[in-house]
Structure 1
Amino acid sequence: MMSPAIVILGAGALDTARGIQARYAGSQVHALQGRVEADVAYSELGAHLRDLYARGTPIVALCAAGIVIRCVAPLLSDKGVEPPVLAVAEDGSAVVPLLGGLAGVNVMAREIAAALCVSPAITTSGELRFGTCVLNPPDGYTLADIGQGKRFVSDLLAGESTRVEGEAPWLDDAQLPRSASARLAIRVTPRAWDEREDELVIHPRSVVVAVTFGAVSAGACAKVDPNAKTEVDAEANAEPDAKPETKAETKAAANANAEAGADANTEAKPNANTNAAAEIAARVRALLDAHGLAALSLAALLASSERMTDAALAEAAAILNVPLRFAQHPADGNSPASLLHAALRIPYETLHGDPQQGVALALSPLANDPGTIGRARGRLTVIGLGPGSAELMVPAARTALDEATDILGYDTYVKMAGPLRADQRVHGTDNREEMQRARHAFELASEGRSVVMVSSGDPGVFAMAAAVLEALDASENTAWAAVELSMVPGVSAAMATAAQAGAPLGHDFCMLSLSDNLKPWDIIEKRLRHAAQADLVMAFYNPISRARPWQLDKALDIVRTYRAAHTQVVLGRDIGRPGGTLRTVTLGELRSTDVDMRTMVIVGSSTTRRFTKGAQWVYTPRWYE
């Protein structure tokens, strides 16, 4: 489950919030801006709660239940997809689960209540009667049909008994009314549900399908032989009902080819990857249907490690809503069955498929953790934290950090990226070790890990994105090339400073680094002259340091050759961080002693203006006289 957002309104709730935070690794405390310092600041409660809810983030709100209900009420629609939402008293004296019964809200309520040493205010009838939510099976298991599940629980509450068929250890301690001769049954099975109304069917994710074929015509997707078995373990432990002919399965098999045809003939003319992905997904579904297995029982899609960069495979896994895993073919075979044997680390009771069709499936008796199947494609995400405050970090960067196994970056920036989970590996380094850091990131990602490279501001503006790409460009390592590489933008220091000042970058502008660590000073001088002569607004990064004390004065001398003394200059120091300051001076007034390494210097153009109406503002008009 995603880490919860713990939302507070004032300082009085902070201690309780921190106590709850200690229970959930990776969780953050969200506080109303200006009232209390926390991990994330927000400006308006209702909008913030709705945004969290829409993103599926579990919410623990330390305020009145009525406030939370009114805030998220406009978004309430489908009970099956809502995240857990709880209201907790500011002093921790009450824990009230509000929404997300099918997403584990009552489990969270009990966990939080235990941490606060109080009793949770659970009102769900089934939970109170049976001691568990029958409709919320553990990870690795899923309901065949939520609508039928609600009817089933209603029948139990009305006095019916049930029997349990299959492995359901999480129900061992539940106070269910049981009878071996009961009309109702809870069935835990990978077999497709036949729509019987007296059964609550729960599917363990216990099937892995290996795919070795490439892009084929959509019509080929229906050619799976339902009786085909591989040459290995074909008859091993085959269940007598391995091919039940039910209404649901017949309908699913009939629809398999129709789905592929519909995908291949849309007016939008999907690209080759989309067509291939639809074909892969349709063939996998056809194989499952042929063996009477539910699509919801699929735990993972497996492919050869040589196909890690195949976009169609990744899209097919997304269509099927399962992880994509990879394994190396053994030296003595390249069939889908041999791929399954290479990847699976637990016993599987049956193995079905057809090497000629390029698909095979393995069925285990219990739910399978996809993390034990082969390996994932490694991922390296280069993110920008923004200028420093959590609210100016883009959500995609926060998501990447939450999902990372390893986090690399300059020590100061890694600390700014927190809070981090205890199980995440942190690799902090000195600020000058960019290429070593980039190579280390690729080594980790090529092992199948999810790696985040942290920059401040925007990673593509004088930051780590270029170093990462340079390392990849220079490498002959094919494993590095297979890493899923992406860049997440951030709010750069220039943009953050400009926003505080108004709009000094409102017309043409350029960004220049005054550091000559990686480029000769004569190149910097040349670019300064051209930018100043072109009347561009200029944003200076790395303007001065103890090791480079003279460059800023030299740069200003060059600029003053082309700009008037009254030219507006914005100085933003630590913008977005505690203690940040903003000043506006003229070019004639500016002295290098006004600036340090943590200052963004924005030199206006000839049209940049400053005025005061309520507050002081600086802007560059979008026109020239």
Structure 2
Amino acid sequence: MNAPAIVILGAGALETARRIQMLYAGSQVYALQGRVAADVPYTELGAQLRELYASGTPIVALCAAGIVIRCVAPLLANKGVEPPVLAVAEDGSAVVPLLGGLAGVNVMAREIAAALNVSPAITTSGELRFGTCVLNPPEGYALADIGQGKRFVSDLLAGESTRVEGEAPWLDDAQLPRSASARLAIRVTPRAWDGRDDELVIHPRSVVVAVSGGAGAGAAADGAAGSAAGSASAGVAASTGAASAYTSSAGIAANVRAALNEHGLATLSLAALLAASDRMTDPALAEAAASLNVPLRFAQTRPEDGAPPSNLLHAALRLPYETLHDDPDAGVALALTPLAIDANTIGMGRGRLTVIGLGPGSAELMVPAARLALDHATDILGYETYVKMAGPFRAEQRVHGTDNREELQRARHAFELASAGRSVVMVSSGDPGVFAMAAAVLEALEAAANDAWSAVELAIVPGVSAALATAAQAGAPLGHDFCMLSLSDNLKPWSIIETRLRHAAEADLVMAFYNPISRARPWQLDKALDIVRAYRAAATPVVLGRDIGRPGSTLRTVTLGELRSSDVDMRTMVIVGSSTTRRFAKGVEGGEWVYTPRWYE
């Protein structure tokens, strides 16, 4: 289950929210912006709850149950896929599970109620009678059919007894009416349900399917071509069809389902799809795993081990198993383990490296995709100051903070971790592609020419850059053509900076200056301003945004003639307007707006 979002409206609920947060690693407290500071601010309750619900995030809302119901009501459709949703009184005096009976909402209600020392308001009949939700098996198990499950529980509530066949330790303490001769049976088995209405079938995810490529595909294709009535065109068609079935996503999935059907196994009993590690970037495999709704895992085999898929099972499985099916021509092997198996223990997953931007510093300006990447990361890397801004982190997450000058070493470290199957996040401030870590990551990848690094799933998540954040506070000074320039000559000669400044100023572009000044180069900003002043009027507006998005931020507008290097430090964003940039008073609020019109006179 994903970590829940704990949503509050006011400061009176914060203490209770923090107590609940301690129960769930990775959970965050969402608070209404302007009322109370927490982990994640939001501006409108209904929109925030619907966004969380739609993403499958469990919701613990510290407000009236009716408010929560009305907010998510437009999204209620499929009971089988809804996340847990609970309403909790602000003072912790009541815990009410609302939605997600099949996703463990009553389990959460009991956990939260125990922490708050109250009784949960559980109303589910089966849960009250039997002390557990029979239709909500634990992680690693799947209910064969929810419709049949509801009828089964109704029969139990009507007075029928049941027997349990198979390993179901989570039911040991349940107050089920049991009888060895009962007509009804709870069957825990990887075998497919045959439709009988006197059984509640629960499938342990205990089957691992390995798929291979290479010689088997060729043999299958040759056999198909040889049986094509001697016709050359028929032979080509048969060969192409066999190879396609072997290597396309639909073909892989069809072969897997055929093997499962041959042995009477349910698709829901699948724990993982397994392939050779040299196929990590094969999109057909990823699509096949998605269509089968299972994780995709990989095994490393030696060339001398040969092509049969059963060798992948031998390389990846670390516990006893029975090989049920081994067909090299179809490229499929099935292994059955005695109990449900955690997919994370099978071989290795494809590593992932996500380069994110935190935005200018405040949590509300971090894009949701960046927050999601951080939540799912095993490892977080970056300049130590930025890594601290990205927290808090769960105890099991590894944090690797480094000095700001170690960008390429940091990128190489990230690829080493990701190529070992870990989910890594590289943290930048602002936008990672604007004078930040995305370029360093790609530079390291290109220079390494490392196959293992190339197999890593690399994603770059945009962020709100310092220039954009400062511009938004000031109004719209970047409303027309603009450029971004770093005044640091650490990585490029000052002569190039001067040339670019001259061209940008002559082109009448609005200019955003990053890294405008430092103790090591106190003269460069004045030199840059001298160049700009040769092309811009002294009255040109200049926006100075210091630490925008962080505590203690300041925003000033001066003219180019007034600006002095003493007005600026390394944490200041300098936006120099064009000849058309304008400024005017805000009115009763005080201050002024700055904008660059979208037209030229």
**TM-score class, shorter:** over 0.9
Written as runs of structure 1 = structure 2, the 5 A alignment for 1:21-420 is 21-213=21-213, 276-330=248-302, 331-420=304-393
Residue 617 of structure 1 is aligned with which of 589, 593, 600?
593
Give the CA deviation at 1:85.
0.7
The one-letter code sitting in structure 2 at the alignment partner of 1:74 is P
The one-letter code sitting in structure 1 at the alignment partner of 2:307 is N
The residue aligned with 1:267 is none
| Cα shift readout 1:200-230 (whole Å, capped 9, x = no counterpart) | 111111111111136999xx89x99xxxxxx
Residue pair 1:273, 1:311 contacting (<8 A) in 2 also: no
Residue pair 2:8, 2:31 contacting (<8 A) in 1 also: yes
Written as runs of structure 1 = structure 2, the 5 A alignment for 1:13-24 is 13-24=13-24
Higher mean Cα deviation, 72-81 or 578-587? 578-587
| Cα shift readout 1:534-575 (whole Å, capped 9, x = no counterpart) | 111111111112222121111111111111111111111111
Residue pair 1:525, 1:555 contacting (<8 A) in 2 also: yes
Q: How many angstroms apart in 2 are the aligned matches of 1:474 and 1:151?
A: 61
Q: How many angstroms apart in 1 are the aligned matches of 2:8 and 2:566?
A: 42
The residue aligned with 2:471 is 498
Give the CA deviation at 1:383.
0.7
Q: How many angstroms apart in 2 are the aligned matches of 1:77 and 1:463?
A: 43
TM-score of the two chains, using structure 1 as the length reference: 0.89
The residue aligned with 1:573 is 546
Q: How many angstroms apart in 2 are the aligned matches of 1:593 and 1:15?
A: 44
Q: How many residues align?
A: 576
Structure 1, unaligned runs of 5 or more:
225-263, 265-271
Give the CA deviation at 1:417.
0.7
Higher mean Cα deviation, 78-87 or 322-331? 322-331
Q: How many angstroms apart in 2 are the aligned matches of 1:494 and 1:73?
A: 40
Q: How many angstroms apart in 2 are the aligned matches of 1:215 and 1:530?
A: 60
For residues 210 and 160 of structure 1, do their structure 2 counterparts lie closer, same or farther at Cα, with a shift above 3 Å needed? same
| Cα shift readout 1:397-456 (whole Å, capped 9, x = no counterpart) | 111111111100011111111111010000001111111111111111111111110001
For residues 273 and 568 of structure 1, do their structure 2 counterparts lie closer, same or farther at Cα, with a shift above 3 Å needed? farther
Identity %: 85
Give the CA deviation at 1:496.
1.1
Residue pair 2:430, 2:465 contacting (<8 A) in 1 also: yes
The residue aligned with 2:572 is 599
Structure 2, unaligned runs of 5 or more:
225-240
Q: How many angstroms apart in 2 are the aligned matches of 1:537 and 1:379?
A: 37
| Cα shift readout 1:27-78 (whole Å, capped 9, x = no counterpart) | 1111111111111101111111111111111111111111111111111111
Residue 474 of structure 1 is aligned with which of 442, 447, 452?
447
The residue aligned with 2:235 is none
Residue 421 of structure 1 is aligned with which of 394, 417, 421?
394
The residue aligned with 2:537 is 564
SS of equivalent to 1:194 = coil
| Cα shift readout 1:93-149 (whole Å, capped 9, x = no counterpart) | 111111111111111111111221222111111111000000100000011111111
Give the CA deviation at 1:472.
0.9
SS of equivalent to 1:443 = helix
Residue 486 of structure 1 is aligned with which of 442, 447, 459?
459
Q: How many angstroms apart in 1 are the aligned matches of 2:136 and 2:558?
A: 62
The one-letter code sitting in structure 1 at the alignment partner of 2:348 is R
For residues 190 and 169 of structure 1, do their structure 2 counterparts lie closer, same or farther at Cα, with a shift above 3 Å needed? same
Residue pair 1:31, 1:37 contacting (<8 A) in 2 also: yes
Q: How many angstroms apart in 2 are the aligned matches of 1:34 and 1:359?
A: 58
The one-letter code sitting in structure 2 at the alignment partner of 1:313 is L
Give the CA deviation at 1:613.
4.2
SS of equivalent to 2:349 = coil
Residue pair 1:287, 1:353 contacting (<8 A) in 2 also: no
Residue pair 1:350, 1:364 contacting (<8 A) in 2 also: no
Q: How many angstroms apart in 2 are the aligned matches of 1:576 and 1:466?
A: 24
Q: How many angstroms apart in 2 are the aligned matches of 1:283 and 1:381?
A: 33
Q: How many angstroms apart in 1 are the aligned matches of 2:561 and 2:102?
A: 65
Give the CA deviation at 1:273.
12
Q: How many angstroms apart in 1 are the aligned matches of 2:16 and 2:431?
A: 35
The residue aligned with 1:227 is none
SS of equivalent to 2:504 = helix
Residue pair 2:246, 2:331 contacting (<8 A) in 1 also: no
SS of equivalent to 2:305 = coil
SS of equivalent to 2:364 = helix
The one-letter code sitting in structure 2 at the alignment partner of 1:276 is S
| Cα shift readout 1:330-387 (whole Å, capped 9, x = no counterpart) | 4333210111111111111333121121111111121110111111111111111111
The one-letter code sitting in structure 2 at the alignment partner of 1:69 is I
Give the CA deviation at 1:392.
1.3
Written as runs of structure 1 = structure 2, the 5 A alignment for 1:423-572 is 423-572=396-545
TM-score of the two chains, using structure 2 as the length reference: 0.93
The residue aligned with 1:241 is none
The one-letter code sitting in structure 2 at the alignment partner of 1:207 is V
SS of equivalent to 2:273 = strand
The one-letter code sitting in structure 2 at the alignment partner of 1:486 is A
Higher mean Cα deviation, 58-67 or 323-332? 323-332
Which runs of at least 4 in structure 1 moved beyond 3 Å after TM superposition? 214-217, 272-275
For residues 214 and 66 of structure 1, do their structure 2 counterparts lie closer, same or farther at Cα, with a shift above 3 Å needed? farther
Give the CA deviation at 1:23.
1.1
Residue pair 1:213, 1:357 contacting (<8 A) in 2 also: no
The one-letter code sitting in structure 1 at the alignment partner of 2:573 is M
The residue aligned with 2:228 is none
Q: How many angstroms apart in 2 are the aligned matches of 1:500 and 1:216?
A: 62
The residue aligned with 1:238 is none
